[in-house]
Amino acid sequence: MKKYIKLAAAFAFMAAFATGCGKDYVKLGEYKGIEAERVVCEITDEELAEAVDGMIDDYVTYDEVTGRAAKEGDSVNVDYVIAKLDGEAYEPEDDDYYSGYGEDVVIGEEYIYPEVEKALIGMNKGDKKTVTAKLTDDFVDDDMAGKTAEIEVTLNEISVENRPDYNDAFVKENLDYETTAEYEADLKEQLLKEKEEEYKYETVSQIMQTIIDNSKFNGYDKEMYADCEEEYNSGNEQMAAMYGMELSDYEELAGIDEDTRKEDILSMVHEHQVIEAIAQAEGITVADTEVNEFVEGIYEDYQYESADDFIEDYGMEYLKYYLLSDKVYDFLYDNAKLTDITEEEYNERLEAEYEDYEEDEEADGEEIELEEEDEE
């Protein structure tokens, strides 16, 4: 199992960090002994089995099928393009995610419109068909849901999946373990470390927010703010692209308006200021040798030919800040007053908070409707 870091979206603080000016704008509140919750977790048998299945997926191969029609369970490659909506011609954009080109689909998994998957059964390679489908919010945005679409479907290829048997011989040949039991023991340990790291991040986020709330800020370096703004906008653009949406549509869906944008960017600025101030107060530093050692361990995971190429691309100051922030987070975690809760308790609370949020959203919607009725 390899350690990966989110370098591409971690921190946009390079120029401001190099100047060392963030700490000049903050008066730290108490940052040691912060009360927070630590989630005590474990890896269940179901989670372990899911991880094993995911590993096996990497070794699956496919054989093309000829001489028969597609049937449920087949892996097929298809094009499906919306041609009409409610009887009107529809011209999909290049990045339109309501249509698909060269999509790999397993018939019956409901990855695409159910009517299209059903129509694929009985089709042969090269066959084309027009399918009528009632669009639902499982596959399209609210403004498209409920409409009737005429979808042009082309079956490009039929194949069957060859899934290897998971046994001692497989793990010995492919994973350098003697037995499945040995492999699963190591895998379970790695999964636990990853889960604990995720929950640790949640705890550190609580701690950091408390410190920010208790600190006083008297401005910020303009270059730092500009870097954070650029990173914030870039992050939203990446999320929009991931969902196949226009940036404006994604921001509307996420409830991001101009005030929210400014608040979010300022929160990023404040976190950077606090990190640098704590690092200075506690004498936390990062040496070039630490960066070099860190990069030596990961550059191949990011498809770089050498550590020097990796450092040149990201920049030494950027990587120093990444490692500095990690050190500060570890310091805050180690010096916090932590109360243990179970994973079940944590998830139950998240579910309750989500239900409260849904109720608030519903109530806000009803208030808006009432206001509109009063205006009429």
Sequence-ordered list of residues with C-beta below 8 angstroms from that of 163, at least 6 positions apart, any chain: 56, 60
Q: Residues of 188-204 as b/e, b for ≥16 C-beta within 10 angstroms?
A: beebeeebeeebeeebb
For residue 277, being part of any structural domain is answered with yes
Assess if residue 52 is contained within a domain: no
Q: How far is CA 239 from the centre of its chain?
A: 9
Same domain (yes/no): 86, 223: no
Distance of alpha carbon 128 from alpha carbon 232, whole angstroms: 44
Say whether both 256 and 115 belong to one domain.
Answer: no
Alpha carbon distance 218, 306 (integer Å) = 42
Identify whether residues 71 and 212 lie together within a single domain.
no
**Which residue range is the domain that position 334 belongs to?**
7-44+175-370
Would you say residue 274 has pLDDT above 80?
yes
Is residue 215 included in any domain, yes or no?
yes
Predicted pLDDT of residue 59:
96
In this structure, are 231 and 342 located in the same domain? yes
Q: Are residues 11 and 128 in the same domain?
A: no
Domain final residue, candidates 139, 162, 185: 162
Most confident of 7-21, 241-255, 291-305: 291-305
In tens, the pLDDT along 124-173 reads 999 999 999 998 888 887 778 889 999 999 999 999 889 999 999 999 99
> Which CB contacts under 8 angstroms, 24+ apart, belong to 54-60?
55/175, 55/187, 56/163, 56/164, 56/166, 59/164, 59/170, 59/174, 60/161, 60/162, 60/163, 60/164
The residue among 162, 189, 224 that closes a domain is: 162
Q: Name the domain count of the chain.
A: 2
CB contact set of 253 (below 8 Å; sequence gap of 6+): 245
98 CB neighbour count, 10 Å cutoff: 20
Answer with the one of 112, 137, 162 that is the final residue of a domain: 162
Q: Is residue 170 part of a domain?
A: no
Neighbour count for residue 19 (Cβ, 10 Å): 12
178-218 pLDDT, tens digit each:
999 999 999 999 999 999 999 999 999 999 999 999 999 99
> What is the percent of the chain where pLDDT is above 90?
70
Cα 210 off chain centre by: 25
CA distance 193 to 195: 6
Do 94 and 190 have their domain in common?
no
Contact 79, 218 (CB under 8 A): no
Burial (CB count <10 Å: 0-12, 13-18, 19+), residue 133:
buried
Instruction: Give the pLDDT of residue 375.
Output: 61
Does one domain contain both 311 and 211?
Answer: yes
Q: Do 39 and 66 lie in a common domain?
A: no
Are 127 and 266 found together in one domain? no
Angle at 46 between CA 41 and CA 50, to 5 degrees: 105
* The pLDDT of residue 136: 87
316/305 Cα distance (integer angstroms):
17
Same-domain check for residues 140 and 221: no
Average pLDDT of the residues in 39-52 = 97
Alpha-carbon distance of 241 to 222, in angstroms, equals 28
Task: Identify whether 288 is part of a domain.
Answer: yes
Residues 226 and 319 placed together within one structural domain of the fold: yes
Residue 105 belongs to domain with CATH number: 3.10.50.40
Residue 21's pLDDT is: 57
pTM value is 0.70
The answer on 307 and 219 residing in a single domain is yes
Per residue in 291-309, pLDDT (tens digit) is 999 999 999 999 999 999 9
Length of the chain: 376
49 part of a folded domain: no
In this predicted structure, what is the pLDDT of residue 54?
Answer: 96
> How many degrees, rounded to 5, is the angle at CA 32 between CA 275 and CA 321?
20
Q: What's the chain's average pLDDT?
A: 88
The answer to whether residue 201 is domain-embedded is: yes
The answer to whether residue 132 is domain-embedded is yes
CATH of the domain at 353: 1.10.3120.10
For residue 138, the model assigns a pLDDT of: 82
